[in-house]
Amino acid sequence: MTHLSGLSTRQGTRTVSSSTFISSLQRLVFLAAALMSAPSLAAGQLVIKLENKTSHSAPLPIIISVTMSNIGDGPLFLYRKETPFGTNDSHLASDQFRVRDSQGALAHFIGQRSYWGAPRFSHFMLLQPGQSVQKDIDLTSEYDFGNGGAFALKFVMNLGHEPSPEESTAEELAAFVASKQAEVESNEIVVIVDHPIADLGSRSNGAICTGPQNDAIESAKRLAHRRAFEAIQVLWKVYSRPLGEIAYSYHRKQRYVRWFGEVGPEEPVKGEAGWEGSLNHEAVGAVDAVYMRSADLPSNQLSPTCGCPGEPPETKAKVEDRNPYHAQFCDSYFALPEDGVWTTRTSVMAHELSHFYDRYQSGRSDYVYSKPLAEQLARDDRWKAVRNADNVEFFITDTTPYED
């Protein structure tokens, strides 16, 4: 116990002067006030619960209830596109479930991936302390359940998304509270699919595109092809070999490092053993794949539909990465400029083409969105950066005049 007297305080055998004590007390009062007002101390905590609502008498459709609850003492901002509320119907806007068959193999996501662009403050939903939200999701056409059987399901949510500084006001950035949770998994449930599920074909609910819409789509595809070729020319400088030489050498280029990260001295160079399994092979292959997919070849023709009824206004386009060249373009896509800035009809086209799984390469994922987070991913996690659609998009469309 500490006893106070008029001029000093005695703590055990140590005497502290009154001026030192008052100064310390002021700092304590200030610290206490700061801690009480600091939003970082009041943290939200997300819990996700799944419930199988599929009827036993009618095993299709596969209906899963998703409940999200904030059991913490602070607010939670959830990136809406990666919640069940990313669409206005019972489908998903992205690959959010981890679905495994009885052998432990992952079932592929075969639904539509929605493109919203860089995260804005309006793209987040606020979950207050003690609040829960629930929605039923129809997974019948979202994952490849093949010939049926038992499947273990989890909902996995990345809480690392934040509003892009380039798309947000100072007030919005100040109001946003970043989550202390990086990723949250739900409980695991098992669903039984007792017979094969037939391929439902394209998931698009869009209409036939008008003549002007088709013209805009084809023009963006041609421009994406040109931009991809210009990006390939940069790659020729990154990996080059003198005339008459067999061996390639790596040359550091700012544009490459900005979007795909620094290349370590131990990494194989093009043509060396181990190249095909390297991160740089993934990056080069992703750019090559967009170039080939955007080429005017009979086998690479898009099957577009237009309009996105029931979709949130943020949605610009949707693709089915396991059903290549099927793409749905929303009204907000046609409102974008064709080219010249970062988010355009051309850049969205490059992004969407990078998602396809085909003979050129496996599709790219959506680990992060926006330039700042894509740049950070290149610095912190090259494995994801070379597999992230935004990084591929930005490398292809980057027109910054680098000095090298």
State pLDDT tens for residues 193-217. Answer: 988 887 767 888 999 999 999 999 9
pLDDT at 291 over 60: yes
Residue-level pLDDT at 37: 31
Give me the percent of the chain exceeding a pLDDT of 70.
89
Strands in 244-320 per DSSP E: 249-250, 303-306, 317-319
* Distances 120 to 116, 131, 224, 286, 289 between C-alpha atoms, Å: 9, 23, 25, 27, 29
Q: Average pLDDT of 100-104? A: 96
Residue-level pLDDT at 199: 76
pLDDT at 372 over 80: yes
Rounded CA separation 279/382 (Å): 7
pLDDT at 224 over 90: yes
Encoded tokens for 36 = 């009480």
Rounded CA separation 267/273 (Å): 10
Residue 41 — pLDDT band, cuts 50, 70, 90?
low
Residue-level pLDDT at 6: 34
92 burial via Cβ count (<10 Å: 0-12, 13-18, 19+): buried
Residue-level pLDDT at 166: 87
* 376: DSSP letter: H
pTM for this model (two decimals)? 0.85
pLDDT at 10 over 50: no
Residue 57 — pLDDT band, cuts 50, 70, 90?
low
Question: What pLDDT, in 10s, does the model give residues 323-368?
Answer: 999 999 999 999 999 998 788 999 999 999 999 999 999 999 999 9
* Distances 250 to 104, 278, 400 between C-alpha atoms, Å: 40, 14, 21
Residue-level pLDDT at 399: 92
Contacts made by residues 265-272, CB under 8 angstroms, sequence distance 24+: 269/239, 270/239, 271/241, 271/246, 271/247, 272/248
Average pLDDT along the chain? 88
Question: What pLDDT, in 10s, does the model give residues 162-203?
Answer: 999 988 999 999 999 999 999 999 999 999 998 888 776 788
Q: Average pLDDT of 271-300? A: 95
Question: What pLDDT, in 10s, does the model give residues 61-90?
Answer: 999 999 999 999 999 999 999 999 999 999
CB atoms within 10 A of CB 256: 28
Q: Is the dihedral of CA 171, 85, 310, 209 positive or negative?
A: positive
Q: Which is more confidently placed, 281 or 247?
A: 281
